[in-house]
Amino acid sequence: MHSITSRIYLACLFLSCLGALSCLNTVALSQDEPRSQGSSSQNIATPSSRMGGHPLALSSVQWNPSSFWGQRFDAMNRGVSQTMTPNMLGNDRSQFLENFNIAATLSDGRHRGPAWNDGDCYKWIEALSAFYAQTKDPELLDLLEMSTKVIALAQRSDGYLHTPVLIAARNLDTNVKSLGDPANFEMYNMGHLMTAACVHYEATQQRTLLDVAIRAADYLDQQFSKPDASVARHAICPAHYMGAIDLYRATGNPKYMELCKRWMQMRDLVQGGGDDNQDRIPFLQQRQAVGHAVRANYLYAGAADLYLETRQKELLEPLLACWQSVQQRKIYVTGGCGALYDGASPDGSDKQSTIMRIHQAYGRDFQLPNSTAHNETCAAIGNVLWNQRMWWITREAKYVDALENSLYNAVLAGVSLDGQRFFYTNTLRQLDEMPTSLRWSRQREAWISCYCCPPNVARTIAQVNRLAYSVDQKSTTVLLYGSNRLTQRLDDDSTIELEQTSDYPLSGSIQLKVVQAPKNAYTIGLRVPGWCPKASIKVNGELQKTQPATEGIVPLTRSWKAGDAIDLQLEMPIELLEAHPLVEECRGQVAVRRGPLIYCVESTDLPEKSSIQRVAIDANSIGSWKVELGSDEVADVPLLTATLLVDASNNSTSDDSLYRPLTSKNYVKLSARLIPYYAWGNRGKSEMTVWIPKKP
């Protein structure tokens, strides 16, 4: 799987570690044991039974290799091996695992890369662990064993672990202190360590990284035992909220839940905060999404995690209000989050001295530019994490609709179809001559200097199977559709096993076969997505009259037996969407949706020399549009064959006047294809637009 160079590097590094590992064994035995969940294969990084749901193990859902998500899983697994792992092991452009190697005194050097590189390394390990859990690839296990042992060797004896500080101390730099700079991403990194450690332990049953995470959490618990204003701002991109709850669920030790609660309360102590880090006002007073979109979505996901464990009612009001703020006024049609490269807060204030720069940010309501959209891939992933937890809290399908929209469009757009190249930002309109120079590449790249998004996408795709079902003692709800097999043991040692067959999102035809089910009455719930105007359900060939509950879930309750068959047909029309009138950049334009997929026009699919800026849509034509599968670079991608309109008039396009007299358009019909937004940019440099003018 790995290149010869990588194998040699691994072997040499592994041998260099062996002599220093004996000290780890004694320490590991003294740590808290992960709590039993009935089976060694049970997931330890998802909600506990108090949440009313059964944790899905990493291996509970297996995608059919030819299914949509099976293909994405395989491509991502190969892509990680071919591009991401060499980046993580090497030091040509930056350093990830090598920083731990230096911190562990296994080699000499200085820290290289941003302060959050440790966190990116942990996300890579989380992805590898999830891939291993489902493939049992022995080379992945060898890679994980080597990597986690190096990380363990780098950890300080008191549990502290942050390679920029550890390497500085090793190089006798006395100016760098542990927890000395709230913006140094120590908490973010150790939060991802906790989450990765839980996934790694579940996948491998090896305690190496879990013990590291426990020691790090114990260190943080001591350091923040009585927080005051001097440490209150240690919440940059707060992955540590989710990490602490993951560790609590894994070990059963309540001090990690209390630590998360303390961290949330600590935000109220911030003095002179700002919207960039969502600490201008206390969290409980917040009613709209503001500031850095990744930081905001991680905050909301972490607060939702804390609510799930504590049921602190006061946490729910800001979560519900901020969700409405995003979904009704600040999110792109693709599920992308964080419209602005740079903004200011409070926006438009007459109190000039209070204005603070915010970046990669949620802007003002309805401020959703297309050509200059930022939409960091990590923000979309944060939105998936947040909505997953909101589903756990409410069991309302609208949160799964939001999750699915971001997942199929904004998250998947962040990686090429071969799993090897990545977007940091995700525009909704790409022109050969952009209106302004922008910081990040407008094409996917194998290397991005800020490498947070690639391993984040990898760990997300590797664990999409966890999002497919929601299981508890009384019910199993199907949330995401596609060919797969679910096998989950319940608390009474009975088993629910379902086989799902579907080419979703190509079509809305879904078949479920009951392989095994509890003996007593049991509910199988089917999600009817918000975009679906009509659905029909048959059980063993008999049409059901059951209607969706107000939450968007159709419950089917009976005593199931092996061989029972459920047939779900989701109507999947092609739709034209218009934006709220206050989204000024989208006035007079439409977006195309079919099922969960948002489509776009890419210049690759237009006749030579045709510009996407001359293309328009006749709303009356969509009834004749067809779905077909792509080939070559976009093989198996569901395309739309469409009749578009193109302006064939001889009006000059070289007029640089900001305003010019209105001229008549000479629209002629054009046969073209539309491509799902997630798949654009895989056939070389191109223009692209999601929003398309609608012919008056």
- Quote the CA–CA distance of 58 and 523 in Å, as a whole number: 23
Overall average pLDDT of the 575-579 stretch: 97
Amino acid identity, position 665: K
Structure-block tokens of residue 300: 């909301």
The H or E element spanning position 31 is none
- Quote the CA–CA distance of 70 and 501 in Å, as a whole number: 12
* pLDDT surpassing 70 at residue 92: yes
Overall average pLDDT of the 239-259 stretch: 97
DSSP state of 393: H
Which residue's entry shows tokens 């190249």?
A: 421
Q: What pLDDT sits at residue 657?
A: 87
Q: What's CA 447's distance to the chain center, in Å?
A: 19
Q: What pLDDT sits at residue 651?
A: 62
Q: Cβ distance 573 to 675 under 8 Å?
A: no
Which residue's entry shows tokens 């099922």?
A: 595
* pLDDT surpassing 80 at residue 8: no
The β-bridge relationship of strands 597-602 and 688-689 is: antiparallel
Overall average pLDDT of the 202-207 stretch: 97
Q: Cβ distance 537 to 567 under 8 Å?
A: yes
Nearest to 691 by CA among 564, 614, 525, 578: 578
Q: Which residue has the higher pLDDT, 10 or 240?
A: 240
Amino acid identity, position 609: K
Q: How confident is the model at residue 621 (pLDDT cuts 50, 70, 90)?
A: very high
Please give the order of strands across the beta sheet that includes 565-570.
61-63, 484-489, 495-502, 509-516, 565-570, 535-539, 542-543
Give whole-number Cα distances, 405 to 33, 390, 410, 413, 530, in Å. 38, 15, 8, 12, 11
Q: What pLDDT sits at residue 49?
A: 40
Task: Give alpha helix (H) positions in 19-116.
Answer: 22-29, 68-79, 85-89, 97-103
- Quote the CA–CA distance of 559 and 523 in Å, as a whole number: 9
For residue 157, the tally of other CB atoms under 10 A from its CB is 9
* pLDDT surpassing 60 at residue 20: no
Could you give the percent of the chain with pLDDT greater than 70? 90
Overall average pLDDT of the 344-356 stretch: 75
Reduce the DSSP state of residue 692 to 3 states and report it.
strand
Reduce the DSSP state of residue 370 to 3 states and report it.
coil
Using CB atoms within 10 A of its CB, is residue 252 exposed (0-12), middle (13-18) or buried (19+)? middle
DSSP state of 408: I
Q: Cβ distance 437 to 466 under 8 Å?
A: no
Reduce the DSSP state of residue 183 to 3 states and report it.
helix
Condensed to tens digits (0 to 9), the pLDDT of residues 136-189 reads 999 999 999 999 999 999 999 999 999 999 999 999 998 889 999 998 999 999
Q: What's CA 487's distance to the chain center, in Å?
A: 24
Which residue's entry shows tokens 């995690």?
A: 305
* pLDDT surpassing 60 at residue 13: no
Sign of CA dihedral 593, 319, 264, 276: positive
DSSP state of 652: -
Condensed to tens digits (0 to 9), the pLDDT of residues 366-417 reads 999 999 999 999 999 999 999 999 999 999 999 999 999 999 999 999 999 9
Condensed to tens digits (0 to 9), the pLDDT of residues 293-326 reads 999 999 999 999 999 999 999 999 999 999 999 9
- Which residue ranges form the domains of the chain, and what is each CATH number? 469-570 (2.60.40.1180), 574-693 (no CATH)
Nearest to 88 by CA among 118, 133, 114: 118
Reduce the DSSP state of residue 265 to 3 states and report it.
helix
Q: What pLDDT sits at residue 573?
A: 97
Reduce the DSSP state of residue 693 to 3 states and report it.
strand
- Quote the CA–CA distance of 605 and 679 in Å, as a whole number: 13
39-53, 174-188, 484-498: least confident range: 39-53
Overall average pLDDT of the 495-507 stretch: 97
How many alpha carbons fall within 13 Å on the CB side of residue 618? 16
Sign of CA dihedral 8, 11, 15, 20: positive
DSSP state of 603: G
Cis peptide before 505 (omega within 30 of 0): yes
Q: Which residue has the higher pLDDT, 598 or 35?
A: 598
Helix axes 138-154, 4-18, angle to 10 degrees: 50
Please give the order of strands across the beta sheet that includes 469-471.
469-471, 475-478, 522-527, 553-558
- Quote the CA–CA distance of 403 and 254 in Å, as a whole number: 29
For residue 159, the tally of other CB atoms under 10 A from its CB is 19
Q: What pLDDT sits at residue 550?
A: 60
Overall average pLDDT of the 628-633 stretch: 95
Q: Cβ distance 475 to 525 under 8 Å?
A: yes
Nearest to 598 by CA among 621, 579, 570, 614: 579
Condensed to tens digits (0 to 9), the pLDDT of residues 420-473 reads 999 999 999 999 877 777 777 778 999 999 999 999 999 999 999 999 999 999
- Quote the CA–CA distance of 316 and 29 in Å, as a whole number: 39
DSSP state of 18: H
Q: How confident is the model at residue 34 (pLDDT cuts 50, 70, 90)?
A: low
Q: How confident is the model at residue 55 (pLDDT cuts 50, 70, 90)?
A: low
Overall average pLDDT of the 607-633 stretch: 91
- Quote the CA–CA distance of 150 and 139 in Å, as a whole number: 17
Condensed to tens digits (0 to 9), the pLDDT of residues 256-272 reads 999 999 999 999 999 88
Q: What pLDDT sits at residue 659?
A: 92
pTM recorded for the entire structure: 0.93
Q: What pLDDT sits at residue 491?
A: 87
Structure-block tokens of residue 520: 């007593």
Q: What pLDDT sits at residue 17?
A: 46
Q: How confident is the model at residue 515 (pLDDT cuts 50, 70, 90)?
A: very high
Q: In sequence order, what DSSP letters do the residues of 479-506 get, joined into one string?
A: -S-SSEEEEEE-TTS-EEEEEEEE-TTS
